[in-house]
Structure 1
């Protein structure tokens, strides 16, 4: 059975709100849990990967979607 992965709708928010909201949401999740982030902020293609690298989360997949991007993030063991 496929694992259900939550989708966090961050569309319409501009930098730095998508990263700040993603950080808060991921902090409440178990390590290893995955979350889709959906954004329309053009800077998210830079900000989300940098946030993952800095916070110990793994960026599993990035995909363009209508009007923005989707990022599949796996919660890391530690979060700074």
Structure 2
């Protein structure tokens, strides 16, 4: 998978995972998916909230993995 479609935000704290996801999503076309890896405990709240507020669909989350995965 291309780096365009993945974002490794491990080690970053709020609000950096969301800010970097927002920037990366700007380069994607409608229907393309971005996979974000994050280990910030706040990402559990921040990523779904960001998607809802920005009009993005949160397709899948894996909160049991380390790092967490958001698609």
TM-score (norm 1): 0.79
How much is the aligned-residue C-alpha RMSD, in angstroms?
1.3
Alpha-carbon offset, residue 7 of structure 1: 2.1
More helix by share: 2
Secondary structure, in 3 states, of the residue corresponding to 2:18? helix
How many residues are paired up?
68
Q: Separation in 2 of the partners of 1:36 and 1:52?
A: 13
Consecutive aligned runs of 4 or more in structure 1 exceeding 6 Å deviation = none
Alpha-carbon offset, residue 65 of structure 1: 1.2
Q: Which runs of 5+ in 1 are unaligned?
A: 73-80
More strand by share: 1
Q: Does 1:70 align with 2:57?
A: no
TM-score (norm 2): 0.89
Match of 1:50 in 2: 49
Q: Separation in 2 of the partners of 1:24 and 1:8?
A: 10
